Amino acid sequence: MPEITLTTLQSLKLKGEKITMLTCYDATFAQAACQAGVEVLLVGDSLGMVLQGHDSTLPVTTAEMAYHVASVKRGNEGALILADLPFMSCATLEQTFANSAMLMQAGAHMVKVEGAAWLAESIRLLAERGIPVCAHMGLTPQTVNILGGYKVQGRQEAQARQMRADAMALEAAGAAMILLECVPSELASEIHQAVKIPIIGIGAGSDVDGQVLVLHDMLGLSLTGRVPKFVKNFMTGQPDIQSALQAYVSAVKDVSFPGPEHGFTA
Ligand code: KIV
């Protein structure tokens, strides 16, 4: 696979070709995902749930994230590595700089931070210092205790209006990408129309620039047995993991995934 950069993602967006992203936490899966054509490997703090067995992402530390970023880097064959800044790793600007630098030095090409317009200053300062940022909006699992559970966000008009305004503010601050989790498909589509940077969705419908799923979910593995509505099991009907990864890439590229049944309404 040719090396994927931010410029590649921007040109895929301009061409209307969907961007494929999957979570990835180790070298073997990094290699397998790259060989299937996955363009962005997200070292997500979901590793706290799917690898470590916690009931939320809150216990994950930046040092643990850096360990997994370095592992993914060793198996990477050209994908862009996006690393999550975990819970409370960017509570202050100083922490944001130090922790982002740790993840970039471990091998990330971009960091992802959960939040909304209040992130603007951090995003601007990171971008000015050479660290591209993806803003994670909508359902932000690190704030599950404020949200009162893993719920669809942006269903009320006032909340939807705020999310559209926040997305534009973060783009203006220098965000290189936005990830929208669990928002009504129509709202995701409106945000997609409102900004020029790539929008990646998970539970956000198909009218965005690309899709991401948690690796374990799309391979049909679940510790709890609770499978979110937006997940499709790509192992079904496939002989092996490599074929399932390829089926995911094909389905995102030909827009057969996600279907309406994987999305939410207002
Ligand atoms: O941590 C993660 O895996 C994520 C995805 C749910 C998008 O942020």
What digits encode the pLDDT tens for the residues 1-58? 789 999 999 999 999 999 999 999 999 999 999 999 999 999 999 999 999 999 999 9
Residue nearest to atom 4 of ligand 1 (CA): 44
| Residue 138 burial (C-beta neighbours within 10 Å; 0-12, 13-18, 19+) | buried
Which candidate, 143, 145, 200, places its Cα nearest to that of 167?
200
Report the alpha-carbon distance of residue 108 to residue 24 in Å, rounded.
12
Spacing, Cα 104 to ligand 1 middle (Å): 18
Query: For residue 38, what are the CA distances in angstroms to 9, 63, 235?
Result: 12, 25, 16
Residue 229 CB partners (closer than 8 Å, separation 6+): 203, 261, 262, 264
Q: How many CB atoms lie within 10 A of CB 135?
A: 28
Written as six digits, the tokens of 149 are 């559970």
For the entire predicted model, the pTM comes to 0.98
pLDDT at 224: 92
Spacing, Cα 173 to ligand 1 middle (Å): 22
Report the alpha-carbon distance of residue 48 to residue 60 in Å, rounded.
6
Is any atom of ligand 1 closer than 6 Å to the C-beta of 211? no
pLDDT band with cut points at 50, 70 and 90 for residue 211: very high
pLDDT band with cut points at 50, 70 and 90 for residue 122: very high
Q: Is 181 a catalytic residue?
A: yes
Spacing, Cα 230 to ligand 1 middle (Å): 13
